[in-house]
Structure 1
């Protein structure tokens, strides 16, 4: 299709030097799952694998309920809401035991084993006794498993809405009379940022021809602008980011590259600041005493620990 677009572009006499780039969210067709249902489904898949292979002796007696037809509904839907944490902890314990059973090399080729390992890494942490406990929801990454039937789908919040699935990025060539033609399409998990798509497009540009690229503000950034200039691309971005930035977040002082927070609006320096390239966000930790009387804790997306306050926000804010 991309080869044909070159032919169509010549026929329509499009100005190939003027391009426009934008992204769209692509929803996963997989069902939305709770944490309990994700861990339960992964554990059930492993038990059913043993059953399918005729290795019934590997199934612990306390886990044979996973083979029952109504067990899923009984655990996920018919339990009281105040039992959820207890059932999550028990299901995590089952998943950990199944992971140990499948520790041998003979199980490496099976998706069920890979899902067990992944979900335990993403959803749990060890306490002081070495027991696996559910992670705090705030510490679960957006690229964690959303549904075992679609393991590549990820979570993203964009324009004030929750999305689970993928993201597409489209580059159009714009003609003098307003007609457009798709010239390039990229596809990735929806934790892939617009800025990352922009970098990838610039990297594959050969630099032999001048080009004007029109995008919204989510594609902007000093690094992208410099990379584009080196490749002969004039990157023109609007100030529109999809969601209106909070003035409190905008008052945080960042380094020029947006990877480190220097101080908060009240001029307090953080104890620690970590930048995550994959989601282009900073996690910042401040002294609790500096934040207890802050007039805007919700705007900073803060979460109090025993002695500190941690805050997440994206670079483009």
Structure 2
């Protein structure tokens, strides 16, 4: 049964803060953890997780969702392992304060509760396709933009490769590894019956040892033998093991690496194997991407953030995770409608050369978003023809020699006709993009996509100097996402784990920026932190402890030598 957690708002007068000295209490209230409690923990939308739990009144109440989610965000703020997280939640007073655990008697959660909660989230995502952490990030970021009055009309985006925590296999190693795992999944009777088929691979013990013993001249023969074995496993083991995960992997690898030709098993050429083929049996979601001679096995992370120079701080507004063989332009095409929905005022988007495309130009024009491209991909024409649309909608075309003509509309495209007098003796005739005509002139054909593309290329030049480098700072944001990665790899595997990491890390990065902003504001003379939005009462009032609990206990003694706390009836307790 789902039940929201509100007990942290009513604090115990004998809790953590009351037992600290005034100086220590002040340090606690000025700490980053206390700011996390106010800025993130108190604002976690617990109701989003209600459908993970049973509705039966007699069922046990859930563990506090805000404590579980808050703890996982703190894990990504500080790059803790699960073991470190559990220790901090149990023994660190500041971390307990960040999670609203104001008394040492308050139990947070046990290891099993945390992992069961993550399993519920994975199962829910597999069944519905909805990521709860994405919903939490969207809700928090939307509120933060409003609360701090940030302008979201200008944004910037970028992407980065994030590796899965898997081993980089060669082709032979991957095939042998799958064979060995299929062998380990067999029952004892089946292992005895088929020991001869698997013998050479089982004897090697590991895929690396098998490859180590293999001569270079024997690789082709080894691949052919593996193809025969995979074909046999797909058919002979279907009855007893067809529903197992490893047999599904066997069938997938056989389809990707081999083919049947005239009742024979043939090894596919390496160039026919797609980048979405299995990279490791430990992570079926990981894909392959090669960029600037560097190979990546994993996923791509896309991030958008505010970039208005007038903002006191910039916050992440959109996060997406995709297979790393997906182009930046296709990711942006999928995210643009959602980005516009979350920040309807978006009017200017700064990107690098990997994001623009013909489809994106059209979609951005429909949404009223101006695309600012900081670099141009591909070759630059030796004699470029400039196309420009004025405010009235008329097209004007100028060739490399400086001749201007109006654009004309045709049923299929546009065209610009240059007279023979203009083209005669032109020094750019040999490299001109316009087609030569019999009358001596030239005609240049173009489409609406060309008009939008050229407008995008010129837009950077039309901006003031100080706005031309707005995209550069997003590189620092990508480094913040990659900071906890070891050699560019996550500690975890799978698209679901990568998505959870991305959204929790984004919440953590936004909180860090807010905390530093509030510190700057509080330290600046004559300034103050922005007030909460109207009607926002979810944050608990700051706790103001009594003068001293120890002093109160000393006011009245008993004959047995103990102390009794005597509080005047007229005195109000601050909570």
**TM-score when scaled to structure 1?**
0.69
CA distance in 2, matches of 1:184, 1:200: 12
Which residue, 107, 125, 132 being the options, matches 2:265? Answer: 132
Matches within 5 A, 1:151-300: 151-177=284-310, 179-204=313-338, 205-206=340-341, 208-241=344-377, 245=378
Deviation at 1:57, TM superposition (A): 5.4
More strand by share: 1
Structure 1 unpaired stretches of 5+: 248-255, 257-317
Computing the radius of gyration from Cα coordinates, the structure with the larger value is: 2
Deviation at 1:240, TM superposition (A): 4.3
Which residue, 248, 261, 269 being the options, matches 1:114? Answer: 248
1:23 aligned onto 2:170: no
Cα deviation 1:48-95 (Å, max 9, x = unaligned): 1113x7543552522244444635344221221221111121112111
Number of corresponding residues: 242
Deviation at 1:176, TM superposition (A): 1.9
Deviation at 1:200, TM superposition (A): 1.0
Q: SS at 2:300's partner residue?
A: strand
Answer yes or no: is the 8 Å Cα contact 1:217–1:239 preserved in 2.
yes
* Shift in alpha-carbon separation, 1:74–1:222, aligned structure 2, 3 A: closer
Matches within 5 A, 1:31-70: 31-51=167-187, 55-56=190-191, 59=194, 61-68=196-203, 70=205
**TM-score when scaled to structure 2?**
0.39
Answer yes or no: is the 8 Å Cα contact 1:50–1:58 preserved in 2.
no
Answer yes or no: is the 8 Å Cα contact 1:14–1:174 preserved in 2.
no
* Shift in alpha-carbon separation, 1:238–1:107, aligned structure 2, 3 A: same
* Shift in alpha-carbon separation, 1:61–1:172, aligned structure 2, 3 A: same
Residue number in structure 2 paired with 1:87: 222
CA distance in 2, matches of 1:246, 1:124: 39
Q: SS at 2:263's partner residue?
A: coil
* Shift in alpha-carbon separation, 1:70–1:55, aligned structure 2, 3 A: closer
Answer yes or no: is the 8 Å Cα contact 2:164–2:299 preserved in 1.
yes
1:72 aligned onto 2:219: no
CA distance in 2, matches of 1:140, 1:38: 13
Answer yes or no: is the 8 Å Cα contact 2:180–2:201 preserved in 1.
yes
CA distance in 1, matches of 2:193, 2:285: 29
* Shift in alpha-carbon separation, 1:175–1:160, aligned structure 2, 3 A: same
Cα-Cα RMSD: 2.5
Q: Bigger CA drift: 20-29 or 210-219?
A: 210-219
Answer yes or no: is the 8 Å Cα contact 1:58–1:101 preserved in 2.
no
* Shift in alpha-carbon separation, 1:10–1:151, aligned structure 2, 3 A: same
Structure 1 outlier segments of 4+, above 4 Å: none
CA distance in 1, matches of 2:193, 2:375: 59
Answer yes or no: is the 8 Å Cα contact 1:172–1:181 preserved in 2.
yes
Deviation at 1:237, TM superposition (A): 2.2
* Shift in alpha-carbon separation, 1:183–1:54, aligned structure 2, 3 A: farther
CA distance in 1, matches of 2:220, 2:303: 42
Q: SS at 1:236's partner residue?
A: strand
CA distance in 2, matches of 1:71, 1:30: 16
Deviation at 1:119, TM superposition (A): 0.8
CA distance in 2, matches of 1:132, 1:103: 18
CA distance in 2, matches of 1:185, 1:240: 25
Cα deviation 1:163-193 (Å, max 9, x = unaligned): 1111000011123247421111101110121
Deviation at 1:154, TM superposition (A): 0.7
Answer yes or no: is the 8 Å Cα contact 2:177–2:206 preserved in 1.
no
Deviation at 1:103, TM superposition (A): 2.7
CA distance in 2, matches of 1:71, 1:25: 29
Q: SS at 2:354's partner residue?
A: helix
Answer yes or no: is the 8 Å Cα contact 2:174–2:207 preserved in 1.
no
* Shift in alpha-carbon separation, 1:62–1:48, aligned structure 2, 3 A: same
Deviation at 1:23, TM superposition (A): 0.4
